[in-house]
Structure 1
Amino acid sequence: MTTETTVTYAYAVAQDPDGSLEEALTGLPGVADGPVRLVRAGDRGEVVVAVGAVPEQDFEESALRAHLEDLDWLESVARAHHRVIEALAARTTVLPLRLATVYLDDTRVRQMLDTRQEAFAERLSDLAAHTEWGVKIYVEAPAATGRPAEPPADADLSPGRAYLSHRKAQRHAREDAYRDAEEVARRVEDAARGHAVDRVQHRVQQGELARGPGENVINDAYLVPLEHGESFRSDVVRAGEGLPGVRVEVTGPWAPYSFATPPEAEPLKRAAP
């Protein structure tokens, strides 16, 4: 019987001043359905890393590259990763680590934590009592804007010229929608400024990552104090109203994924025998 080789998957750095986080993680399945535990640095145990064991064969460099092209596998890992972070965030301040952050073993995690504990503690203090909100702006297709295409000025146009005239009207409608999206983006920024303390501008989502109708043209994350959360949501939603063809989507509150500064994972290479 062979024993499967495992490596350590790291989910997040967190504060655990009273030692209560172990209870929050009891029975919680992580990636590969494995249990989640905490790694502490030396005797200074208030800053911890939530980790779990995962099969090395799935997370060594070449295998991981292939897995990241498998949307079912990626979704399964992302759901487990998020589940652990949300369980932690319900109890304390967390610094989420990037998806598929892996180390050779717990000792390497502890070494990383020893080295960066002071910086982690400072960042955790900065993020305390704050949550992340996502704001996406979409430009929808001209047909969905409620603005009918301009009819040809001359009913006697040939089929070719009528087609070109119709395409020109569609193009103008789309240009109008983009201008409206710029106006909505300005409104949203103004509304968010009254609540948020930080913003991260992400790459717009395309293809499989894009949700719902329309083209994603803005994909921002805002760091918002807890007491401003609902006001932030309502003010940003209101800022996006009134311009057909532009849609604003607000999501959250989330753990501050976009505002953590996690270390890179250690390459999975073992010393030669």
Structure 2
Amino acid sequence: MNTPGSLTYVYAVTHRTGPLGDALAGVHGIGEAPLRFLPLTADTTEPAPGTPRESLAFVASDVPEQDFNESALKRHFEDLHWLEYVARTHHEVVQAIAARAPVLPLRMATVYEDDHRARQALAARQGAFDRSLDRLRAHTEYGVKIYLTPEAAQPPPTAPAPPAGPGKAYLQARRAQRHSRDAVYRQAEQAAETIEAIASRHATQRVRHAPQRGELTGPEENVLNDAYLIPDDQAAPFRSAIADAARHFPDLRIEVTGPWAPYSFAMPAPGPADAPEPPP
């Protein structure tokens, strides 16, 4: 039941269980709002322990309508501090679910007019959500990134050469730098092929994201940014194999991130007419 002047904010789809409900009791949503399950029906009875098929449900909380209606979201999406807070809180809720149950993370700022509209959206995608949760059961997302370090692109030191004019010296330095950088890129290609071969033995799915740029990478250049869906019993050998491979590529930094909730492998959030879309 919504409080007056509020909208229903949904964080994720999962299967409602008693133990998960107990765990989420200590987790709060945006604005410190308590979390609640929104199953397909308004029945609030907790599922019996050992139930073979738990109830599909949104994990939701109330948010102020004045902050999450369509016009307010357009303003807030230009406020980096607001975005950081909402994104962090959304992620914390999703990760708390993922630690205890299969979860489909939903897009940040997915809101509905009320619980009834949210349940309608859940019912409309029930079959697809159930299939996706089954596919993700006992799987976790890991990221693998390859970075070129600034030092790797510099030309190696050479023995002193005979004096050259300024123009010739400049061209020689540029040629040496280009050759050094080409060698590092070839090394990155070989590393990417090695990672792909490792993933073929351990991962069930891969998503290739665009390389990161700007403040996210600092002085390094990100040239590979992949996400892998890894069965839980393959996580340790996958990480170990990547770490072993990274030792063969001294001019690169190869980073494994995770475990994460399966953001890269979840279906897009449902979008009924009353769910405001964030601006592009």
Aligned to 1:203: 210
RMSD: 2.4
Cα deviation digits, residues 205-238 of structure 1 (max 9, x gap): 1123x23541111111101111111111111122
How far off is 1:122 after superposition? Answer: 1.3
SS at match of 2:97: helix
Q: Which segment drifts farther, 240-249 or 186-195? A: 240-249
Contact 1:188–1:240 (Cα < 8 Å) also in 2: no
Distance 1:145 1:243, change over 3 A: farther
Q: Is the 8 A contact 2:140 2:261 kept in 1?
A: yes
Counterpart CA distance in 2 for 1:173 and 1:59 is 51
Match of 1:262 in 2: 268
Deviation of residue 267 (structure 1)?
A: 4.8
Structure 2 residue aligned with 1:132: 141
- Corresponding pairs, count: 264
The residue number in structure 1 matching 2:170 is 163
Q: TM-score, normalised by structure 2?
A: 0.85
Unaligned 5+ residue runs, structure 2? 44-52
User: Given the two structures, how large is their TM-score scaled by the length of structure 1?
Assistant: 0.87
1:224 aligned to 212, 230, 237, which one? 230
**Number of the residue aligned with 2:257:** 251
Higher mean displacement: 49-58 or 79-88 = 49-58
> Would you say the 8 A contact 1:150–1:169 is kept in 2?
no
Q: Distance in 1 between matches of 2:123 and 2:54?
A: 10
Q: Percent same amino acid among aligned pairs?
A: 50
Aligned to 2:167, what secondary structure does the other structure show?
Answer: helix
Residue deviations 1:124-144 (CA, integer Å, cap 9, x gap): 111111101111111222x34
Which residue pairs with 2:27 in the alignment? 28
Letter of the structure 2 residue corresponding to residue 8 of structure 1: T
Equivalent position amino acid for 1:148 in 2: P
Cα pair 1:61 1:268 within 8 Å, conserved: no
Alignment of 1:1-273 (within 5 A): 5-16=5-16, 18-42=17-41, 46-141=55-150, 143-144=151-152, 148=156, 153=161, 155-208=162-215, 210-211=216-217, 213-268=219-274
CA-CA distance at 1:111 after TM superposition: 0.2
Out of 79-88 and 51-60, give the one that drifted further.
Answer: 51-60
Q: Which whole-Å CA distance do the structure 2 matches of 1:198 and 1:130 have between them?
A: 10
Q: Which amino acid aligns with 1:14?
A: T
- CA 1:167–1:128: 2 relative to 1, 3 Å: same
Retained in 1: the 8 A contact 2:154–2:180?
no
Opposite residue 198 of structure 1, the aligned amino acid is Q
Unmatched tracts of structure 1, length 5 or more: none
Secondary structure in 1 matching 2:125: helix
